[in-house]
Amino acid sequence: MLIDNIFYLGIRHHGPGSAQSVLRALKQFAPDKILLEGPPEAAPLVAHIQNPQLQPPVAQLFYANDNPAEAVFYPFTRFSPEWQTLHYADAAHIPLEFFDLPQAHSLALKRAEADATPDDDEPIDSLQLPVDPLDLLAHTAGFDDGEQWWEQMVEQHPHEGEVFVAIAEAMTAVRSAIAAERPLSQREQYREAWMRLAIRKARKDGFQKIAVVCGAWHVPALLEKIAAKTDSALLKGLPKTKITATWIPWTYSRISYHSGYGAGVNSPGWYDFLWEHGQQNPLAYSVSGGWITRAARLLREQDMDISPASVIDAVRLADNLAILRGRHPPNPSDMQEAMQTLFGLGDATALKLLDARLWVGERMGQVPDEMPQTPLQQDFNQQIKSVRLAKEAVEKVIELDLRTDNGRNRSVLLYRLQIFELTWGRIIDSRGKGTFKENWQIQWKPDFELALIEKNIWGTTLATATEAFAIADLQKADTLAAILGGLQRLLLADLPNAVRLALDILHNRAATTHQIDELLAALPGLVQIVRYGDVRGTDNAALLHLVESLAVRINIGLNNHCRQVDADNARHLAAALAAVNNALQLLDNADLLAPWRQVLLRLAASDGIQGVIAGKAYRLLANAQAISAEAVANALGLALSRAEDPSQAADWLEGLLAGAGLALLHDEALLAVLDGYVCGLAPERFEAITPLLRRTFSTFALGERRGLLDKMRHSSLVTDNPPDNGDFDHERAALALPLLDQILGVEVGRF
């Protein structure tokens, strides 16, 4: 909109169509001065524009010097009109000025706001709108997507510049409608007053052709006739704070981040494609053809079979859908639906693969090496200073005493860095578990600095950034063990919000998993945390509730699961049962223990379960004195009876006795059953079973084995009547002794 030689270009932030229109309009108008929406503090950053190391997506970052956590990001992509304007001004050597309210004031105002009590009647602020203000217009006009609306505007206004007039008019109507209902926020008024002053000043400086590039929302306000005095009066005495500006790398997945220019965009990958498509001259392919082909290639990389024939049909269906809906070319939803029908066979699940890689895109930006320090780096440096750690490239070991504040803080810091995959330190053996000491091996590497710059995306302080990063990571975790591992790291790194989220995710995952062994493996770890972990700031009740729900699910599914495992896995399962049993005993909660023991009883009595599991169930019950010694003896007799398969019997024995030499020493009844069984074996059966028996007995400590032998020699149980017939050949019997030594694992020959 050209008024008094000032060209007002109302843009759509991050709109590729808008970027193209702006670029064309600027070239035609050839301004001698450009005013661009953005805080003036960004001026020194413009110098980097021609640096090839500055690759979008990048963001201008402004933060308060005294508190880096107060920060604002202005993301730029190659399809942002602002980015294209910067490049145009740089290439054409036209002076460019950022003419928004300085962040020095904005941040200070925000501080003041945070202290004040919020109003009931929320005033309108373009930065708080959930979408770009232009998209509101697009939605009223019946478009899902603002981009398509822009395309239509451009088509209807073939003369460059007319489209900006139309947009200014439409926006004027929108603003007056909104203003009738809700007042403009204070900040909005300051900003627009500042912009008007900047325009007046530019004219006063003698520029003849000024281009004003700003969000379409602001154009009506800039056109209003307001006396310079009024604006100056409004801006008098604004609070101020010292801030720093820098470029940081950004990613497409963070473009949706609500900051800087207000609402982000949901499908930067799509917009990037539109921009690229718009740059083609002549057109090499249609939008739908190009996009659907791209999607098909991505799906093929994920091992989905997408034939070229179905790509062609998907493009045709998308085109037909668009015609049926009275528009052309197809918009993203037409294409998504066509792809769902053709590629997903009607099902949307398969296309989920495309969400991150196609619609959002995986592009990551890059900034020049010589950029000033980012707030995350500053926060990090400040923290290591306060805990007295130095960035040393030499490897060394430090011992931390967790009882002291400094020790704990150092430990938390190192654990937080580990979450960022910055292994400055790794923990090394600290002799014994559960002590208050941690030994860390630390070594600083220069690429950590770079990693810290990249991690600025996640937040401006180490605590907020690691938390955001951990949360994003947790959402990707797919096994209980991975989530539990994450939870433990989060506890160590003292990130309570992420811990809460991890518990939620754990809960959901536990509810949907069909893998009982996952649950079995998770429960002891959780109990450990409940019992010993210091769960700072987390709800211990939530943890306990999780343990309870895990226990309920285990109780329901265990019997069934135990029937399905083979001999190899049965051993792992038996060990897992023991671990769960110990954990539940540790908690000592009757409501959990009683049903658990019921399940064990049922398991012990079930047929068709691997012997090692049944034996283990008896052992756990016997240890807890949940069943009588007599019942165990009975079960052993049955399990080792002739009808049983020898290997099943031996497995059962292994389950019962593994690592329990002492128990056998003191349990007469058990020993008697075992003894009776062995003595009653027919020779060939004894031969068959001896190796299996030895497998169990060899796990006992030497002392225990000796004790057992001793006991058997003196026990009344032993039928101590050597064969009394005269032709017993002691010499020949002695020949067998070395073999016996070997079998029994003790030196029988000595006795």
Partner 1 sequence: MTEVIRHHAEHQFTEELAALKAQDTRQKPANWALSPWAVVQYLMGGTLSNGFVVSPKYIGEQRLMEIAVATLTTDRALLLYGVPGTAKSWVSEHLAAAVSGDSTLVIQGTAGVSEEAIRYGWNYAQLLAKGPSMDALVVSPMLHAMQNGKIARIEELTRIPSDVQDTLITVLSEKHLPVPELNTEIAARQGFNVIATANNRDKGVNELSSALQRRFNTVILPTPATLEKEVEIVEQRVRDLGRLLYLPMEKSVLKEIQRVVTIFRELRMGMTLDNKEKLKIPSGSLSTAEAISVMNSGISLSVHFGDGELSAADLASSLIGAVIKDPVQDPIVWREYLETVVKERADWRDLYRACRELS
Q: Which residues would be at the binding site for partner 1 (CB under 8 A)?
A: 307, 309-310, 313, 316-317, 320-321, 323-326, 333, 337-338, 341-342, 345-347, 507-508, 511-512, 514, 549, 552-553, 556-557, 560
What's the min distance (Å) between Cβ of 564 and partner 1? Answer: 8
Which pair of structure tokens corresponds to residue 713? 């020699």
What's the min distance (Å) between Cβ of 347 and partner 1? Answer: 6
Are the C-beta atoms of residues 363 and 251 closer than 8 Å to each other? yes
Nearer to partner 1, 322 or 633 (CB): 322
**How far is the C-alpha of 278 from the C-alpha of 17, rounded, in Å?**
8
Nearer to partner 1, 221 or 299 (CB): 299
Cross-strand pairs, 103: none
What's the min distance (Å) between Cβ of 486 and partner 1? Answer: 18
What's the min distance (Å) between Cβ of 543 and partner 1? Answer: 17
**How far is the C-alpha of 636 from the C-alpha of 628, rounded, in Å?**
13
Nearer to partner 1, 549 or 647 (CB): 549
Q: What is the 3-state secondary structure (H, E, C) of 634-677?
A: HHHHHHCCCCCCHHHHHHHHHHHHCCCHHHHHHCHHHHHHHHHH
Nearer to partner 1, 509 or 597 (CB): 509
Dihedral of CA atoms 176, 180, 185, 190 in degrees, nearest 10, equals 50
Nearer to partner 1, 282 or 326 (CB): 326
What's the min distance (Å) between Cβ of 506 and partner 1? Answer: 11
**How far is the C-alpha of 369 from the C-alpha of 63, rounded, in Å?**
19
Is the torsion defined by CA of 458, 463, 466, 470 positive or negative? negative
What's the min distance (Å) between Cβ of 346 and partner 1? Answer: 3
Are the C-beta atoms of residues 343 and 295 closer than 8 Å to each other? yes
What's the min distance (Å) between Cβ of 175 and partner 1? Answer: 33
Token pair 């995959």: residue: 421
Rg (C-alpha) for the chain, rounded Å, is 37
What's the min distance (Å) between Cβ of 573 and partner 1? Answer: 17
Nearer to partner 1, 71 or 554 (CB): 554
Are the C-beta atoms of residues 685 and 731 closer than 8 Å to each other? no
Nearer to partner 1, 316 or 572 (CB): 316
**How far is the C-alpha of 49 from the C-alpha of 493, rounded, in Å?**
39
Nearer to partner 1, 348 or 734 (CB): 348
Nearer to partner 1, 25 or 483 (CB): 483
Please give the C-alpha separations between residue 58 and each of 18, 80, 91, 709, 721, in angstroms, as whole numbers: 19, 11, 19, 77, 92
Phi, psi angle pair for 474, to nearest 5°: -60, -40
What does the DSSP 8-state code read for residue 371?
A: P
Nearer to partner 1, 259 or 513 (CB): 513
Kind and range of the H or E run holding 129: none
Nearer to partner 1, 43 or 511 (CB): 511
Who's near 27: CB < 8 A, 6+ residues apart? 88
Q: What is the 3-state secondary structure (H, E, C) of 79-116?
A: CCHHHHHHHHHHHHCCCEEECCCCHHHHHHHHHHHHHC
What's the min distance (Å) between Cβ of 286 and partner 1? Answer: 16
Nearer to partner 1, 322 or 463 (CB): 322
Residue 744's Cβ-side half-sphere holds a number of Cα atoms within 13 Å equal to 15
What's the min distance (Å) between Cβ of 594 and partner 1? Answer: 15
What's the min distance (Å) between Cβ of 548 and partner 1? Answer: 10
What's the min distance (Å) between Cβ of 189 and partner 1? Answer: 41
Buried b / exposed e over 3-27, threshold 16 CB at 10 Å, is: eeebbbbbbbbbbbbbbbbbbebbe
